[in-house]
Structure 1
Amino acid sequence: MRLPTPVRVLNETLAFLLELAALAVLAWWGWESSDAVAVRLVAAVAAPTAAAVLWGLFAAPKARFAVALPWVLLVKALVFGASAAALYAVDRHTAALAFAVVAVTNTALATADRRAETGAGAGAGRIRP
């Protein structure tokens, strides 16, 4: 399914905003994770940093390692899933569900659009995220 250009641009913009939101949510969760300030600081920095590194290595448009689409989707599921779980953990249950639904929908549309663009079928190898 090829998305019309304005819809593709909106979906890609939303994808970027979701990625930023995921990092912010992980930092928020890290800060809320403990009463000890040192632990809070480490968690608030380490959680989003780990997600960013994982994303940059495998899921970013110019990822360090080109991996097959299922691995890219796994990384996205891990990062977005961890972010939704983090929202849930800070008692934002509705926001967690909304974030998960929007992230899954956005990723599905982007994946379908890129597959149509490249002419790749279900068994295709690497498609740029």
Structure 2
Amino acid sequence: MNDRAPEPLQKIGPNDVLRFLLEIFAIVTLAIFGFLAFPLPWPGVAIGIGAPLLAIVLWGLFRSPKAVFAVDPFVKAIVEIAVFSSAAISWWILGQPVVAVVFAVIAAVSGIINGRKELAG
């Protein structure tokens, strides 16, 4: 019989939903970038699959709510900045500066809100 009390559910706010959508957008962006910015089949396929895979692994190891490694909030911020910046830079390189800037600004504001919440609690 399991005598442990269930863990309390965390309240999911609007910024949490936004952050999830930003993560998905960044991963899809890295795949699009790999396939469009590099010649196919090589190295386009490798980068189109490898870049988002690397972002997913980094996020899962250090940044996700159930991350494998419990790290300092500043390390979490560095991982987040690396993933989101790479997505914004990818849009810039693909000739879409408006998408790059809008994504970067939204990601930065969301990251600041989340970072303040993490440091406060």
Q: TM-score range by the shorter chain?
A: 0.7 to 0.9
Alpha-carbon deviations, 1:13-71, whole Å to 9, x = none?
A: 00000000000000000001222323221111000000110111111111110110110
1:82 and 2:86 are equivalent in the alignment: yes
Separation (CA, whole Å) in 1 of partners of 2:107 and 2:76:
14
Superposition RMSD in Å: 1.4
Q: Any residues of structure 2 matched to 1:85-104 within 5 Å, and which? A: 85-104=89-108
Which structure carries more relative contact order (alpha carbon 8 Å, separation 6+)?
Answer: 1
Q: Structure 1 residue aligned with 2:56, among 52, 55, 59?
A: 52
- Does residue 21 of structure 2 align to residue 9 of structure 1? no
Structure 1 partner of 2:33:
29
TM-score, length-scaled by structure 1: 0.81
Q: Which has the larger radius of gyration?
A: 2
Report the counterpart of residue 69 of structure 2 in structure 1. 65
How many residues were matched structurally?
A: 111
Residue 17 of structure 1: SS of its match in structure 2? helix
Runs of 4+ in 1 over 2 A off after TM superposition: 113-116
> Please, which runs of 5 or more residues in structure 1 have no aligned partner?
1-5, 119-129
TM-superposition CA deviations, 1:85-116 (whole Å, max 9, x none)? 00111111011011010001001111212333
Cα distance in 1 for partners of 2:20, 2:28 equals: 13
Q: TM-score, normalised by structure 2?
A: 0.86
Q: Give, in whole Å, the separation in 2 of the partners of 1:22 and 1:35.
A: 21
